[in-house]
Structure 1
Amino acid sequence: MGYHTRAALWPGGLKGTRFKNLRELDLRACAITTLSTGTFQGMENLEALYMSDNSILNINAKAFSGLNNLVHLDMSRNYNYDEFGNRKSLMFESLDVMDDLCNLVSLDFSFTRLSPINLMMFNSFGKSFQRLSLCETGLTKLRTNIFRNTSIRFLDVSGNNGILNQYGVLGGLENTLEVVYAAKVGLVHLNLFERFKRLEILNVQNNEVSVFTTELAKTLESLQILDLDNNRLTTWTDLKFSHMPRLKYLSLRKNNINMINENMIEDFKNLEYLGFGENFVICNCHTRELFEISLNADREATNQSRIRSQYKERGDMSKFSSYHTGFTSYNGIINTRTNVSKVCEVDYDCDGEIYRDNITIRYLLLDYNPTAYQCIQLVEGVYKSFSQPLGCDVSPRDVDFDEAIEKSWNKLLALIIIPAILFPVLVFVFIFRKNFRYFCITVRNSALLSMINNDTVIDDSRIFNYDVFVSYCNDDRGWILDQLLPHLETNCGVSVCLHERDFEVGLSILENIVSCMDRSRSIMLIISKEFLLSQWCQFEMHLAQHRLLETRREDLILVLLEEIPRRLRPTTLHYLMLTKTYIVYPSDASDSAKRDFWRRLGRSVTARRPDHENDSLA
């Protein structure tokens, strides 16, 4: 049956009846499937219409006729499926279906499936339009300057992968946008938010952001809340976040920050609240300092301040913004945060003594949990609380000033002489910089990792306990157990070392990794995107490269479960892929291609055995 002949049986009871004093109409969860022409014709003073949690699929051309004073329209959570169980997109009979909504301020389409053709509706909205939610609508692209005729202040596009990738998609909103939710949209950089001087809340959780630039920070002069959880940010050395004078709330949870330095601590000086948990951090004195600042602030704080917008609402809009929580949700996180000093009263691993008495930074930790704030003592291979490393500062009364002055003169003399000696060396290194660059990185990391285990060079007579040590992430465990082990152990007679069954109880994880690598004839890395997201897997890959360098071995096998784009490859993996032959598992190929894969892989492992003996003792 065509769309134009579809029978609109609901809500026919509203037609022909005038509700001239009606201000709000709640039609949520009423099993509505179609909005027909003239349904709301007699409601000229209606201000808010709630139609969420229905199954609306079709909207007739004049369905909203007569709603000239409508301010808020809620069309969220309208689910409709085809016979195969796939979500169906909302259908408008005409592209000007919302032309009558000339005073609309707030529109909520969250969790309702939309198609790109539906976006033509924004041509009808003018400067009074302020609030829009398009989260989880299935849109993957917005047209450049699509909102240029509006004055949107609150925008939510979360859950739509690629929706902000078009250049200039937010053009025209530089002077109006105040709150943006763009979680899980595939953002790689945040340059599109430059010069948004009114922006107060920016939520970009669960993206691929690896850099937050100083240039961007300097343009966000009104930003108060910045949520960067679950991205790819790493350690930085230049000041960034301190360039935003109003920034009070910064969350950096679950990033790739592995070292805290003095400049990072200084960069937090304007903050009131900081989230930093679940980063794979190496212990140093600055991890202690980050902890001390919050501990001291919690001991001195009498109450927690709420973060409020500096802009006033344009009209009475508070009752029409239920889909956008903004400051309310983040203040809720603040209200339920854990006080560090109270945890220290009952946690014996929490050192309550503060080494410094001149702390001027006063942020509070948003997400403190002893298990989330742990660092790894690299040499020992054990985890410690952020409170346990020694502090960076030394009390002035412990300083010998005569000795300090003498050391200062020695340093000055060294600064004069050393450059003259090193200049020829530096010229030589500059000429051959490409050759030396990777060599220097390798030597540096080898020196660090060799502190864990100082094994001698492994020669051809060495007896190995295993044919191959397999490094993989837990997400690929099913493939390892169901595919790899049967082919290698059963079909090829290969002795495989897996961490979950072969690590020795009682040893640290690092000791077990190094021991098993050294007792295995070869090392196999099972590479996937999940592998690259695992901090331990990345460490094993890094360690494997340098252990093989230490022991002068070349027995490294790379197996890719999927193609890895260049932008996702860490430097170590990219170098290995350039210098070593690797093999890709043909997951979608024919059975013959898979048989060829297993034949090549088995031959690669067994070829490393001496012909005269079977070295596997496992």
Structure 2
Amino acid sequence: MERGFIVSVLALTVIALGPVKSSFCPDSLCFCPDVLTADCSNRNLQSIPAGLPSSIRTLILSRNKFHILRNDTFDPITNFNITNLVMDNCQMKNISERSFASLEKLEYLDLSFNNLNVKDINNGIKYLGKSSLRVFNMSGTLFDSRLFPVRNNNVFLTRWLRSLREVVIRSCGIRYFSFKSFAKLTNISKIDLGNNLISNYILPNTSVPSLQELNFTDNYFKKVPGFCLDYARRIPAFPNLQTLHLAVNDIRETANFIKEGFCLKYVEFLNVSHTSFQEISLYSFLSLSHLQILIIDNLHGVTLDSRSLSSKSLRTLSIGRMVQNSLIGFADIFSECRNIKSLKIMNTGLSKTDVVEMLSPLKDLSYLAIVNGEIEQMTALNSFTNLTSIDFSFNRIKEIRKSVVQNLTTLKLLVLRGNRLSNMKESSLSALLWKKKDFWIDVSFNPLDCGCQLEWFRLWVENNQNRTVGYPAQYICASPSDLKDKSIANFDPISECHKISPYVILACISFAFVSLVIVTIVLLRKFRWDIKYYIYTCKNRKPMGYKRFTDDEFLYDGFVAYNTNDRKWIMSELVQMVERNNKYKLCLHERDILPGGIFVDDILESIEVSRKFMLVLSNNFMDDQWCKYETAIANHTLVDGGGHKLLLILLQDIHSEHINKSLKVLLNSVSHVEWTMNRNGQKLFWQTVKQFMGR
């Protein structure tokens, strides 16, 4: 869930996948959503295709078969001013010395996940010195050793990459790293070393003032790494560092942040989610004097004190699975971080704690999310007059009372998804909120009772569909039986709750029939010659051919729904076999969904842009509320005819108490495969998974 370095180019790819009806390069094998972009990915190309317009600046060649880049590979676009070139997953094995010589305007280069080693890249970039390369992605590069840089093959000590601003070196198996390898990159601002095996590194000899973002997500650090060149004089290695990612590491304690914080005083964003913290020490983050955003999600069994989160600068905080899934007894947990404006609390079992008392120090709170807890009734939040967004998804709320948000005139979004609401009444919210044009509500995935008591809300939704998030697909009736599991759009309160006398209906039908006959006779008389001419032209019209255009471009090959307790199997088995060995691109919520958004919406969007949808079932999976939510989405996908998109992976025998109706339907209707420790059984397992991904 980290912010990547190639968002801009991915955004271009999304544009190419959008609802564009025509291409700006109809004479080419590629698709051009505009005059500046050509998407030639997944075309089995071995050379640059003909027919590309000279106006393009971004060329996407992902997942083709450019085994070798020759000196003349880019000759067809020599006169183009290409600034962005994407060639990831192209099975590339070799790069000739002058391959990129003609691309003198190149600013972004992605050679990730090919079969290249450092020597190949070093040889192939010699003529990039003519360009102004700003971003270079060499993720998945093969290293002869686990030390970076490799002796005599340090790519970044050459003069060819002196203008680099961003470098991405993910998934390379690096164990030890030296910042001295970037000594010549005086303009470097972002370094991404995520998904490696790094447990330690060597700091540069002198400070690197240009570096602003550093990503060590998913590595093997056991303690907070060093950031000071001289602790006595508090000389920082990266004096202008603003963004630091340390999520998914084995860091055990936070005390080092107190010492290192003096050399991280300009850090504004810190992510330490999915670490191994046993406790968060007093004043751990206080020395990070400019810290504004702190993400500490999915920490299991962590001990907190009222001073653990002490910070005067903190504005945004996201915490989850704290203190053995409970914040009970920590009513003053935010007493020393009073400037927080955005707060997200997940999976903390909040039920007994007085939420208002706990939040009372946060007078400036504008965004509040308490997700996947045990709250049965919302407490009045009227004292937080700056609130614009409230999210209480996946709790146990059965009823909303007007007093909860009555005075919140600034409120723009209320999310109550996945609770136990059977009805939404006019009296649930103030008349001001119901009438506000800039107010949105989300009560999807609740067990709605589609009877006459829901009439008011059903009619309100019909007239305010653009303000009802997830309508109609995610608003499902739980009762009565004839509407169960159907959208509330199928509930017609007018006909069900205001039935008309059969005599009135008969009179209306009779009148309508007579009127129709009269109108028909008049129209036939008046337009008889036009009708005859139309019939004539229809009989003599030549048949026309039709061609259906389909768009099966996706951001991911598959979305994987799993419980975080099964992460070890996901990373060591599924990712290794499917992504690294077979070059498919999976979407993992821990790794690929960015923080800061509404998580449930991010999951839905990620599933929609994934070609396949895999559910990794275990007893842990069936106990998790998020996993139940993903199971519900899978059921809706099946109902909508998307069964071919689904695959169930059974990691273990599922206990009978976990096999609910939804899961039983999936098991009876969707392909599934069972994991085993038997070697031959595993071969059959992976053969089934490969066949499924290849369909």
Pairwise TM-score range, normalised by the shorter structure: 0.3 to 0.5
The TM-score normalised by the length of structure 2 is: 0.40
Structure of higher RCO (CA pairs closer than 8 Å, 6+ residues apart):
1
